Structure 1
Amino acid sequence: MTAIPRSLVLVLGVDKYVLDACERHDVEAVVVVGAGQRDYGLQPVPEGMTVLRVDSVSSPEAVLGALHRSGYAERRFDGVQTSDEWAMVTAGMLAAHLGARAIDPVTALYFRDKTLQKRRVREAGVPAARTHVIEDIHDLGDLTELPFARAVLKPIAGAAAAMTSMVGDIGRLRALSAKYRGEHTGQRTFALEEYIPGDEWVADGVLHDGEVVFCALGRYGVPCMTTIDRELPLWLRRFDPNDEAWAYELGEPVVRRALTALGLRDGVFHMELFHDAETGTLTFGECAARRGGALVHEEVQAKFGVHLGEGALFGALGRKPEIEVKVRPETIGGTYLMGRPGTLFHCPSPKDMSALDGVEYVRVESAFGASLSSAVGSTNVRIAQVLVSASSEEALLRRFEELRVWFDERLLIAPSGPMSGLRAWQRENWPDADYRDLPWQS
């Protein structure tokens, strides 16, 4: 009897949940790891998987070179998968060359270029912000006024709200242009988007053959732009499909129409929308053809029992995911644990935090010795993240605040600044050790 060969998937970047799904479903994985992710070192590749090292997983040349050097260029891959926002189009292009399944490159482009994305969604009748393309943020050309009364400036294909700013007048836009020109920023093509007010919602789910087979809705505590501007710790919580059925009745049709307009057929998605509580309407924000960041996977798995890594892997392979939703009654959410500017010497361990009431998962992302900046700048700045369950949203928010205080009290961070400030910090934390430069006594 001939054995059925194992499926072979090319994975661009390290997503521990996709690799976990590979192990659970006996899928052979060749994992391409970029220099940045290797240097960061947070997520190791499981033993037994083939690792190809490249400078960048978003470079087709780098990935093809690694495949040829390793002898894998002639292997028959069943799928190409990535959870890396920057490698979406690359995955589609490589799959076309390798004869494997993956997201179509043009579809991937619609999930990257925010102006193309919003235009297509608007054409399908889904409310979305109007946009204006700035071809080179270093040179505004003859732009003398904002196209909208209030706008959001962002890279045309960015991630995590990096380099995203509120713009209220042409003076502010010119100041940002001068700033980015002075910094010699690599990203030059930007979008000005019409500002859309409201609560910011999220939708995370799984598609198969063009149909949404699972969708989990939730909301940010405050919109991401407000989080960045005010340097607040980001937090999310999931809507309960039973107790908050109204949110699903409002949100799911919009989610489905937007995904249909964008052409995604298989895999996972992370969508953001704006909810106007007064009118009860939703406006499309943006969407990624990958799982969300922060603790999105953990929130969805904790609340619904759904493994988004499996959905992503099966989407790449063309398999229908076997989804069995089990809704927990508790309120589930995640929050960032921040720090202070300086050098991190110590923070509580995941084991210590997991022993606290309601804490279900902890990820510490900064290693001891890391330099902590005072500027937030994106939704990726934090020391750690924590997943919490509680009896209600009010109880969840109380627990978040208690955890932040508890965490902050146990941080050991050497402040930035002159040596005299460090000496004062040293005396405060080690009062019994005398390191003064005293005269020698015979």
Structure 2
Amino acid sequence: MSVAGSHLVLLLGAGGISPDAALAAARQVTDEVSVVWYGAATPAAVADRLREDWSRAFAGEWLTVEDHLRIPELLEELHRRRPVHGVATFGEPLILVQAEAQQRLGLPGNPPETVRTAQSKSAQRRRLREAGVEEIRFHEITREEDVAAAAAAVGFPAVLKPVHGAASFLVSKVRDEAELRDRVREAFQTYHESPLFDPDPVFLLEQLLIGDAWYEQPGFGDYVSVESLVEDGRITHVAVTDKLPLDGFVETGDVLPTSLSGDRRRQVLDHAGRVIEAMGIRWGATHLELKLTPDGPACIELNARLGGPVGHLVRAVGGADIEADIMRLALGRPIEGHYPAVRYALYRSVPPPAEAVRLIGQTSREALLAAFPELVFCKTRFAPGAELHPDRPYNILTFLVTGQDVRSALAIADRVVDTYTAEFVPLADDAPVPFPAPTR
């Protein structure tokens, strides 16, 4: 499969799709693959096994780095030894250094400033306003003294969120200035205690987007995501992903294909195109979340990468591999995938209790797979004895099911959740915690 201009570098070890899935997708594209492994938190045995699998399939180099900011320099050195023709990654922490490496080496990719905009919720709002795409009210909060100005600029009800965050971490609805002041104080304290994000956080207060009923049948949330591929500015919309209702601000599920009517779907895709163009995305994948409001779709946020479970969903509904197409784009090649939907697929996540707890026991992954042949995959995130903390966003169970229609997929997912049981005790005392967790 090796052709001229086919040396691809994968940046792995910082989230996104699994390294195994990334290597499997790369096999469809080229046999010249180098890996930059950023995996300080990964057990050595796991890294060794991945490296062995890689060595059997590819020509290239395996490089390990502890400081991700060194990656662009590392790739310049690699390029001098073995010319690099493309750089791909799927983890949010590495998309900026990916862009910097692509720029240094003159490879297809987005400018670093475009990626910085995509990673900042306030910069996104500013860009969409400047482009005349949306006029959503927002105000940055860098310290508690900014609360009064933010309240005056945005009004209530509103949403408070980190400018740089993920998985709905510290996102909350606020109803008045007094509640905002309390939430800001708590958010700064929690953010500083969390090991996950920036040492100097900035928060964003923005207008609360009010959803509307866009579906002809019940069971869906009031927002969607749009999955797109961009080749030198040319946008191909791969799918509109329906969402299950939120648990507070925490996502609980995704469904493909969409059940929106044709007219509604066209509204969503038209607006998605305007948002992507306004953000300046030129290459790669985008995952855009849109609120379905009475006045039309409105941007919640855009990610300049593939959304978490999207690759699984796309393969389950029609067999296409969107990760392989992302790697083709990184090499400057056109996409090859066709994205039919021949069945329905539903990805479901189950959050833990909203307090610090210890997991005592749970239904095993093996038992769930045996009970439900419709499961494409199933993952229990933690073993008994694990401590779970609400300031570290994650789910205790994730799974994907398929069905011939959307109602059957929804029904199967509900049965899986009903079958799964877990036992917790709070870290503060040993009284049992009810599960499933109460709605947040």
Is the structural similarity TM-score above 0.5?
A: yes
1:334 CA displacement: 0.9
1:219 CA displacement: 2.1
Q: Determine what percentage of the aligned residue pairs are the same residue.
A: 21
1:369 CA displacement: 4.1
Maintained 8 Å contact 1:108/1:289: yes
2:62 to 51, 64, 68: 51
C-alpha change, 1:204 and 1:354, in structure 2 (3 Å) is: farther
1:258 to 275, 291, 297: 275
In the alignment, what sits opposite 2:160?
A: 153
1:406 to 419, 423, 431: 419
1:34 to 35, 38, 44: 38
In the alignment, what sits opposite 2:438?
A: none
C-alpha change, 1:244 and 1:158, in structure 2 (3 Å) is: same
CA RMSD of superposed structures (Å): 3.2
The letter of the residue matching 1:290 is: R
In the alignment, what sits opposite 2:338?
A: 324
2:149 to 112, 123, 143: 143
Q: Distance in 1 between matches of 2:200 and 2:178?
A: 21
1:286 to 297, 301, 304: 301
Q: Distance in 2 between matches of 1:234 and 1:141?
A: 31
> What is the total number of aligned residue pairs between the two structures?
399
C-alpha change, 1:306 and 1:206, in structure 2 (3 Å) is: farther
Gaps of 5+ in 1: 423-442
Maintained 8 Å contact 1:8/1:77: yes
Maintained 8 Å contact 2:147/2:181: no
1:391 CA displacement: 4.1
In the alignment, what sits opposite 1:213?
A: 236
Q: Does 1:301 align with 2:319?
A: no
Maintained 8 Å contact 2:71/2:97: no
Q: Distance in 2 between matches of 1:42 and 1:240?
A: 37
Q: Which moved more, 1:7-16 or 1:86-95?
A: 7-16
Q: Distance in 2 between matches of 1:389 and 1:78?
A: 37
Q: Distance in 2 between matches of 1:352 and 1:47?
A: 31
TM (normalized to structure 1)?
0.79
Maintained 8 Å contact 1:124/1:261: yes
C-alpha change, 1:338 and 1:179, in structure 2 (3 Å) is: closer
C-alpha change, 1:74 and 1:285, in structure 2 (3 Å) is: same
2:425 to 407, 415, 418: 415
Q: Which has the larger radius of gyration?
A: 1
Maintained 8 Å contact 1:152/1:195: yes
Within 5 Å, which residues of 2 pair with 1:149-228? 149-183=156-190, 184=192, 186-198=199-211, 199-223=222-246, 226-228=248-250
Q: Distance in 2 between matches of 1:331 and 1:309?
A: 20
1:247 to 251, 259, 264: 264
TM (normalized to structure 2)?
0.79
The letter of the residue matching 1:213 is: T
Cα deviation code 1:241-278 (max 9, x no counterpart): 8x8423322211111111111121221110100112xx
